[in-house]
Amino acid sequence: MNTLRGKISELTTSGNMTLVGVGVGGTRMTAVMIGTPEKVPYLRISGDVELLFNESAVSIGKMIEGQLSLNNQLDCTVERLVMGEILTQVILSFKGEHLTSLITTMSAKRLDLKAGDCVTAFIKTNEVMLKEPDGAGNGD
């Protein structure tokens, strides 16, 4: 599981669903959840929040041009690769934080991924979970 910390910058609610914009070190990320700020105390502007997403939810792009629907596009550097026969862990550095992407070894080879490569990590908005930071000292 990947964890990033950020501050909530935007809350868009429709019915019982909320799109949450989170600033993570200058990059804007989004998560969508069922729940509203009235019912979920940590959903408030400027509130601290953790974003959680699985390694397998992180796709990797290299030299991407054109437009993609994904909101969460993080510019990263490849730190190292752990290649298995079928799956490869790509350990990424994003603004000093470590992220891991789990992709097929086939894709890792096709992209010719190497340590030091500049890549973009993509995470679909519906794959991002929010968590109130432990010891946040609020909303308890």
Partner 1 sequence: MEIELSVRKKLFTATGEFPFAADLSIGSGEMVSFFGPSGVGKTTMLRIIAGLTDADDGFLRVGGETWFDSADGTNLPPRRRKVGFVFQDYALFPNMSVRENLRFAQPKADRRHVDELLDIFGLSNLQHRKPGFLSGGQNQRVAMARALARKPDLLLLDEPLSALDMEMRSTLQDEILEVHRLWGITTILVSHDLPEIFKLCSRVIEFRDGRVVDDGNPYDIFGRSRISGKLQFVSEVLKVEKEDTVDVLTLLIGNSPVKIAVCNNRQETFVPGDRALVVSKAFNPIIQKLNSNGKGGN
Residues near partner 1 (CB under 8 A): 1, 31-35, 40, 42, 52, 54-56, 82-89, 91, 100, 102, 126-127, 129-132, 134
Name which of 64 and 83 has its Cβ closer to partner 1. Answer: 83
Cα–Cα nearest to 26, from 44, 41, 7: 7
Cα four-point dihedral sign 111, 78, 58, 18: negative
CA distances (Å), origin 73, targets 17, 24, 58, 61: 22, 12, 10, 9
Expressed in percent and rounded to 5, the helix, strand and coil fractions of the chain are 10, 55, 35
CB of 31 to partner 1, least distance (A): 8
Rounded to whole angstroms, the Cα distance separating 134 from 103 reads 30
CB of 63 to partner 1, least distance (A): 25
CB of 92 to partner 1, least distance (A): 12
CB of 59 to partner 1, least distance (A): 15
Name which of 64 and 80 has its Cβ closer to partner 1. Answer: 80
Name which of 64 and 139 has its Cβ closer to partner 1. Answer: 139
